[in-house]
A and B are shown apart, each in its own frame.
Chain A
């Protein structure tokens, strides 16, 4: 009995090793996230865009209108994971054909500040929060 338990454990270990051998996890992060707590210092109709930039860095985009502008701060996280089950063929074949399951998720988030011509902030709002960037291998 002990012999069979040992054999099974070894086989499972070898299988896990070959499965993990084809495993890749990637993460791409663009800028640091901005939280609502970080914006507590903003006083509408008083705080200027300069003060916001001092704390958060410069916006990624500024859209101009005749009497106002919108400054947009962006940050994102992307995660991608893949599992190449083809490595299992190495157990029985000298050639391993790729059979990869892969998932990718990208969260792009933003906060926008609406300012007047003098760069005084009149309002700000967060974009919808995404929840895609989880580590998952199953693409279906």
Chain B
């Protein structure tokens, strides 16, 4: 009886997930919150920033200050490859960290926002 039930369950699962494709992609390294907490405004120097987070992905320069930018992208992609129709979505979200440095290389301000914890595998083809 149990073997028969397991067989039926296996067939149902196989039918449910046949044609499903799930993939994931990432760009950059996730920004480590623990390391970010070690960076203090008015104290931390750019060399310490680089030791903690690595080289910035981008440096934006102005005459009196620099901005170090770190970014991380996370993408989740579900797809349904059916007999008669193929549906595919790719949901991408980004984390960005900006460190404002004065000319002495001291961190003066931090702008950080995390969205990648909200990226999901929803197969939503419509909507904005």
- Interfacial residues, chain A to chain B (CB-CB below 8 A): 17, 20-21, 23-33, 49-50, 53, 56-60, 62-66, 71, 77, 79, 119, 135
- Interfacial residues, chain B to chain A (CB-CB below 8 A): 60-65, 67, 69, 83-98, 109, 111-115, 118, 124-125, 128
Contact B88 A26 (CB under 8 A): yes
Contact B113 A56 (CB under 8 A): yes
Taken together as a complex, chains A and B put the C-alpha atoms of A31 and B85 apart, in Å, by: 27
Contact A17 B84 (CB under 8 A): yes
CB distance from A30 to the nearest CB of B (A): 5
Contact B114 A28 (CB under 8 A): no
Q: 9 closest pairs, A vs B, by CB?
A: A58-B113, A57-B113, A58-B96, A64-B62, A24-B86, A20-B84, A28-B90, A26-B88, A30-B92
Q: Which residue of A lies closest to B125 (CB)?
A: A27
Taken together as a complex, chains A and B put the C-alpha atoms of A21 and B83 apart, in Å, by: 6
Contact B115 A64 (CB under 8 A): no
Contact A25 B113 (CB under 8 A): no
Taken together as a complex, chains A and B put the C-alpha atoms of A31 and B128 apart, in Å, by: 11
Chain A neighbourhood of B65, CB < 8 A: 64
A interface, over-half SS: mixed
18 A-B residue pairs with CB within 8 Å: A23-B86, A25-B125, A26-B90, A27-B125, A28-B90, A29-B89, A31-B92, A31-B94, A32-B93, A32-B115, A50-B111, A57-B113, A59-B96, A59-B111, A60-B96, A64-B65, A66-B62, A66-B63
Taken together as a complex, chains A and B put the C-alpha atoms of A32 and B93 apart, in Å, by: 8
Contact A62 B60 (CB under 8 A): yes
Contact A29 B90 (CB under 8 A): yes
Chain B neighbourhood of A24, CB < 8 A: 85-88
Chain A neighbourhood of B125, CB < 8 A: 25, 27, 79, 135
Chain B neighbourhood of A77, CB < 8 A: 128
Taken together as a complex, chains A and B put the C-alpha atoms of A21 and B125 apart, in Å, by: 18
